[in-house]
Structure formats: C-alpha cells, structure tokens
A = this chain, B = another copy of it.
Amino acid sequence: MSIGNKIWVISGGHIPLHSTGEEPAFTSRDVLCLLNTHPHEVRVRLTIYYEDKEPVGPYPIELTKNSVRQVRFNDLVDPFPIPLDTNYAAVVESEHPIFVQFTRIDTSGANMAMFSTMAFPADT
C-alpha cells in the first residue's frame, strides 16, 4: 500500500525533567511512533525547532520495511541531544509516505499522565 504522508509536524514537544518509577516503562518521555507500510526501507530526517536558537538537524532515522518504530526524543543524540524541560517542535520528512503519532508519558508527579495525538500531515 502506498498510503500516508511525507511531512509530519508536532509543535508541542517538551520532555519532562523528572521521572518516578521503574525505567524504562515509567521514564518520562516524548515519543515519535512511525509506521512504514512499504516493502522496502524508508529514510526519514527529523528537524528540531527551539524557542531561542536555530533549528537542529537533520536527525536521520531508518525505518525497516513493513514495520513500526517508536523513537524516544530522549534517546536522540546525533547531531545533538534534545535538552529536557525545553519547549521544542519536530518536523518529520520522509522520502516515502509514512504515518506519525506523537505520545508523551509524564511521571514527574507521583502518578503517570499521558497523551497521544496523530502528528499533523503538512504535505496535503
């Protein structure tokens, strides 16, 4: 199936500073959930926008054929780690159409809070 979009955006990124509970299940995190429905690898590049400095990227992400991949923003290191407790946005550009969902797990309080939303398809 050739379905999906090539550019996806979220503008409400913010990795919580603190975590409560066992790692990695209860680690506070922002997560990008990427689906590649193609029968071949797809290369994705991520650009991170900040409030008071220039955008950083591209962060290269490889998606295996016919598969999903969850990427924790906390784990991105190349070209530069994303600081905690900092507002950011992410623009996902893919060479072929894919799907992107954005999820946050926040355990900075005593409990777990979370949200998820489909990212916004910007190339329609």
* A residues with CB within 8 A of B: 1, 3-4, 7, 9-14, 17, 21, 25-26, 31, 33-35, 37, 49-52, 54-55, 64, 66-70, 85, 87-89, 91, 99-104, 106-124
| A117–B14 CA distance with the chains assembled, in angstroms | 14
Chain B residues, Cβ within 8 Å of A3: 7, 9, 91, 122-123
Q: Which of B49, B68, B103 contacts A66 (CB 8 A)?
A: B49
Q: Provide a sorted-by-A list of 18 A–B residue pairs whose CB atoms are within 8 angstroms.
A: A3-B91, A3-B123, A10-B118, A11-B34, A12-B101, A13-B33, A35-B91, A37-B91, A50-B67, A50-B68, A51-B64, A68-B88, A89-B99, A106-B112, A110-B110, A114-B115, A115-B116, A120-B121
Main secondary structure on A side of the interface with B: strand
Q: A36 CB to closest chain B CB, in angstroms? A: 8
Q: Is the CB of A54 within 8 A of B66?
A: yes
List B contacts of A112 (CB < 8 A). 106, 108-109, 111, 113
Minimum Cβ distance to chain B for residue A57 (Å): 11
